[in-house]
Homo-oligomer: A and B are copies of this chain.
Amino acid sequence: MNGARTGARPAQSLQDRVRRDLPAFTEAERRVAHALLGEYPMAGLETVARFARRAETSGPTILRFINRLGFESYADFQDALRTETQARLQGPLSRYDLRGQTSAPAASGGLAVAMRQNIETAARDLAPSLPAIAERLADLDRKVLCIGGRFSWMIAGYLHAYLRELRPNVRLVRDGSASWADDLLDVAPADIVVVFDFRRYQRDVLELAKGAVAQQAEIILVTDIWYSPVAALAQHVVACPVSIPSAFDSGVTGLAVVEIITAAVIDALGPGSKGRIATLEALRKPFNLGP
């Protein structure tokens, strides 16, 4: 009954603390520690009984182990584990963000923090499929069509603007356009349709995607983490977290994805693309003013 440890705040990571206190534990408790570290953190998120079986010990030993770590109950311990792991899954930077939150300018109310986390998550989500996506967009034998919904068509517009500087045969379909049928007509098998669709998902975007599939086009979808229904038709889906502390969802994540994809396309295209950009710049010079 060694009280006084109530509600102890983990000054450092739980994992580290377990490792550090390891020599101080009894033999059975050390088995518990090893079981936890060996399958960290999920071993500790099971029931006491299963955790005990895993550590080849009994329930009460688990609870004494938990108490010694400074937790009043097994539930407290699991809460701590969950919180810590969630932060860890959110990305390496998130813990810095949390630290600095008190000193951060409240003026932007955590908006910047949320956006940065969204980008981090999206970039990680995108990474595995990036090469395949870039390869297709860099394939000059395929035409590319970019479309978006009420808000997201502006992001589609960005992709269109970037790609147009890099390669021919890129077109943009505006939201609410009456010419969708015409645009679909030009879509050939193996062409790429890049769809941007965030909630609230619009019916016409889905319809156009269906049409494109009927023409045997390949669909790349950039959507929010709640998945547009277009996902069912798409070969590649990029999910963007879009939540920020505001009345609107954030478009920043989608644009970040576009720019990451664009950079990958440049890589895939090789040196030729640089020349194309330079030519374009030269052509536009008369419309610009001073560098």
Contacts and interface: CB of A to CB of B under 8 A. Distances in A.
Interface of A is mostly: helix
A252 interface: yes
Interface string A259-289: 1101110100000011001000100100111
B92 A97 contact: yes
A248 B161 CA distance: 11
Nearest to A101: B92
Number of copies: 2
A246 B227 contact: no
A10 B85 CA distance: 23
Contacts of A246: 259, 262-263, 266
Interface stretch (A52-60, A62-70, A107-115, A179-187): A107-115
Contacts of A208: none
A94 interface: yes
A199 interface: yes
Interface string A98-130: 100101010111011001100110111011111
Interface string A134-176: 0000000000000000110011011001100100000000000
Which 5 pairs, one residue from A and one from B, show the smallest C-beta to C-beta distance?
A6-B129, A19-B227, A112-B123, A107-B127, A246-B263
